[in-house]
């Protein structure tokens, strides 16, 4: 049984957006009248290329200012204090120009973890992510999949309240994908709210509590995962699952 099966839905949305709009050169990139991510388990965001998934994540992480609309966290307008308790793993990993260990040490130190404990924590994290033995390697010399795993470990090391993951396993082999999914489920069980974009329907089925399907900048469907995969409510949902939904 997954950790959130049978769990009570939170009454207050952890994340919500209202009247979110982004446009460029006369075309609508994002248009979301209302979306509430109330938990408790991972929200998986699906949709074709260019549907606005990354833009939505960036808005909820406060990285881009929409042309209109508001982002709420725990019933209050998204502010710096919320952002400090969020973490994001980007589609293309962003790493410090330092060693693998230093990338993790940086976030642990920022949280006030003492050096004695940091060393053990770094070793444990690298072990969990299959990067043991690479502590001294320059982070920028890691392979694409290794760099993505380090970015995920660094985000998890922050123990964030909310973790946004943008296609975190798209560059990973099956074994690494499985390891990362286990890390994500563990973080979710510890209480981190996961909001994750993927193109892997199997992964959305394995991890998702609820599914947000995006199409052309809009939310085409937001359903409980079990309902979505059993019988989507919308034509877009049915088209997506049959492989026919494009742009
Ligand atoms: N700064 C920008 N200026 C103009 N267009 C932009 C800008 N940023 C994003 N877009 C466009 O907005 C649309 C949505 O982009 P977004 O990155 O959110 O897509 P996505 O759903 O994450 O797609 P993918 O699955 O390919 O990652 C795309 O058509 C993209 O080209
Ligand atoms: Mg994207």
Smallest CA separation from ligand 1 atom 17, residue: 54
Candidate from 23, 51, 90, 219 with most ligand 1 atoms within 8 A of CB, to mutate: 51
Distances in whole angstroms, Cα of residue 60 to Cα of each of 55, 77, 169? 9, 11, 21
Q: What does pTM read for this prediction? A: 0.92
- Domains detected in the chain: 15-94+160-242 (3.40.50.300), 96-141 (no CATH)
For residues 207 and 58, give the distance between their C-alpha atoms in angstroms, rounded to a whole number.
21
- Report pLDDT digits (tens) over 102-156: 999 999 999 899 988 999 999 999 998 899 999 999 999 999 889 999 999 999 9
CA of 44 to the centre of ligand 2 (A): 13
Give per-residue pLDDT as tens, 201-236: 999 999 999 999 999 999 999 999 999 999 999 999
3 state DSSP class of 162: strand
50-80 core/surface letters (b: 16 or more CB in 10 A; e: else): ebbbbbbbbbbbbeeebeebebbbeeeebee
Predicted confidence (pLDDT) per residue in 58-98, tens digit: 999 999 999 999 999 998 999 999 998 999 999 889 999 99
Angle between helices 115-128 and 144-157 (to 10 degrees): 140
Ligand 1: lining residues by beta carbon, under 6 Å: 24, 29, 47, 49-55, 91
Nearest Cα residue to atom 30 of ligand 1:
50
């Amino acid at each position: 049984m997954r950790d959130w099966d049978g769990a009570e839905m939170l009454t207050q949305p952890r994340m919500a957006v209202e009247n979110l709009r982004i446009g460029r050169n006369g075309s609508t990139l994002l248009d979301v009248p209302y979306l509430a991510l109330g938990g408790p388990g991972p929200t998986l965001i699906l949709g074709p290329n260019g549907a606005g998934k990354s833009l939505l994540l960036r808005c909820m992480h406060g990285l881009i200012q929409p042309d209109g609309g508001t982002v709420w966290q725990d019933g209050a307008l998204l502010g710096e204090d919320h952002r400090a308790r969020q973490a994001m793993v980007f589609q293309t990993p962003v790493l410090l120009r330092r060693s693998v260990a230093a990338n993790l040490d940086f976030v642990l130190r920022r949280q006030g973890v003492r050096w004695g404990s940091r060393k053990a924590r770094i070793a444990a994290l690298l072990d969990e992510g299959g990067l043991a033995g690479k502590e001294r390697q320059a982070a920028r010399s890691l392979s694409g999949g290794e760099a993505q795993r380090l970015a995920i470990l660094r985000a998890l090391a922050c123990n964030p309240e909310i973790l946004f993951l943008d296609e975190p396993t798209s560059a990973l082999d099956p074994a690494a994908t499985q390891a990362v999914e286990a890390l994500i489920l563990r973080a979710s069980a510890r209480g981190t709210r996961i909001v994750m974009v993927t193109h892997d329907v199997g992964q959305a089925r394995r991890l998702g509590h609820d599914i947000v399907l995006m199409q052309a900048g809009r939310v085409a469907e937001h359903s409980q995962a079990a309902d979505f995969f059993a019988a989507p409510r919308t034509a877009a949902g049915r088209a997506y699952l049959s492989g026919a939904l494009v742009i």
